[in-house]
Amino acid sequence: MTDGYETGDARRTGLLLGLLILGMVVAGGVGLTLYARGRWWLPPLASAEGAHIDRLFYSTLIITGIVFVLVHVLLALFVWRFAAHGDRKARHWHDNRRLELTWTIIPAVALTVMVAMAGVVWARTRLAPPATGMVVDVRAEQFAWLSRYPGPDGTFGRVDPTLIHPRTNRMGLDPKDPASADDIVSPELHLVVNEPVRVSLRSTGVIHAFFIPEFRVKQDAVPGVTIQTWFTPTREGRYEIACAELCGIGHYAMKGTVIVQSRDAFNAWLAQQTPALTPAP
């Protein structure tokens, strides 16, 4: 009985497939990952919380990398070794309780460890906001970011979407609320290095996502609710807010500017700002 697939053809194909899996998937995958570290990798870290996240990321990369290599090496070996040849029959072997339990329990234990590791990092970075540090009101709209600081009174004034005016009152501040009078509104998000900041996220209309790759922070801005996220910038410099949630035709260009500066420089910048509701001269 020849069915066109047996004989020497199968051995050749098995060898070729085994080599392809070893060469392209294993060597290619690992090699490309090492190569990518210099070119296409996590942007340089610039937040305190990000250090925990990066450690978790690298642990996961190593653990999953081992599984990736192990499974593919076995797959490559088996397709090469067990290609049909000669009269050798397959072995009628289909159950082994000990093996099944081995590859049930080992992954289960490994995954439990990962749940614990990730749980610890999550609890440390996300469960409770920092006790100190300033609060900035960041509001997303199609397709821009707007930041607001509470001013000397330390209180954010009331906002009302019906009061939004594209030129005179972008934030929709309520002039009747005395707390609004000193609120400072800026298209740039200014932050102080090494001081935790709570970003209070809002959106006017559709869902956006506040994403600063260097800070390892991403949080959706959802209309109707205010969501807090927090982080501690650790390096001075200019960064960008990217919108990570599809928000319409200008999604790809919804870029905001972040400036991380020393406390003195920040104070100087803040002092230069005029409250948003100041009547135009």
Partner 1 sequence: MQIQAEVRDARGRTIAPGARVRSGDVEGRVRHVEPEYGVVTIVLEGRAGKGERMVRVSAVEVLEEAPHPAEHEAHADSFIRKYVFSLDHKVIGIQYLFTSLFMALVGGTLAMLIRMQVGWPGTKWGLAAALFPGGFAGGQMKPDFYLAVVTMHGTIMIFFVLTTVLSGGFGNFLIPLQIGARDMAFPWLNMMSYWLLVPAIVVLLTSFFVTGGAAGGGWTAYPPLSAIPHAGPGSGFGQTLWLIALAILIVALLFGSLNYITTILQMRTRGMSMMRLPLTVWGLFITAILMLLSFPVLFAAAIMLLFDRLGGTSFFIPAGVYVGGQVLTHAGGNPLLWQHLFWFLGHPEVYVLILPAMGMVSDIMASEGRKPVFGYTFMVGSIAAIGILSFLVWAHHMYTSGMHPLVAMAFMTTTLAIAVPSAIKTFNWLATLWQARIRFSPQMLFAIGFVSLFVTGGITGIFLAQPPVDVVMHDTYFVVAHFHFVMASAALFGVFAGIYHWFPKMFGRTMNARLGKIHFWLTFVGIYATFFPMHFAGFAGMMRRIYSTQIYAHLQGVGPLNTFISLAAFGLGAAQLLFIYNFLVSLRRGPKAERNPWRATTLEWTAPSPPPHGNFETEPVVYRWAYDYSVPGAAEDFIPQTAPVARAASGVSAPGSGGS
Residue 239 tokens read as: 């960064």
Footprint (CB under 8 A) of partner 1, residues 134-163: 141-142, 160-162
Footprint (CB under 8 A) of partner 1, residues 74-93: 74-75, 78-79, 82-84, 88-93
- Binding residues with partner 1: total (CB under 8 A): 111
Side-chain-side CA neighbours of 153 within 13 Å: the count stands at 12
Cα gap 197→176, rounded to integer Å: 28
Cα gap 131→90, rounded to integer Å: 66
Cα gap 137→228, rounded to integer Å: 9
Pick 75 or 270: Cβ nearer partner 1: 75
For residue 233, the one-letter residue type is P
Residue 182 tokens read as: 């000193």
Is residue 64 near partner 1 by the rule CB under 8 A?
Answer: yes
Site mask, partner 1, residues 15-54, x = CB under 8 A? --x--xx--xx--xx--xx--x--xxxxx--------xx-
Is residue 60 near partner 1 by the rule CB under 8 A?
Answer: yes
Q: Which of 95, 98, 132, 274 binds partner 1 (CB under 8 A)?
A: 95
Q: Which of 22, 46, 47, 72 binds partner 1 (CB under 8 A)?
A: 72
Footprint (CB under 8 A) of partner 1, residues 223-262: 223-225, 227, 240, 242-253, 255
Instruction: Evaluate whether 81 touches 22 at the Cβ level (below 8 Å).
Output: no
3-state secondary structure of 184: strand
Site mask, partner 1, residues 107-126, x = CB under 8 A? xx--xx-xx-xxx-xxx-xx
> Closest Cα to residue 217, out of 238, 188, 202, 239?
239
Footprint (CB under 8 A) of partner 1, residues 173-202: none
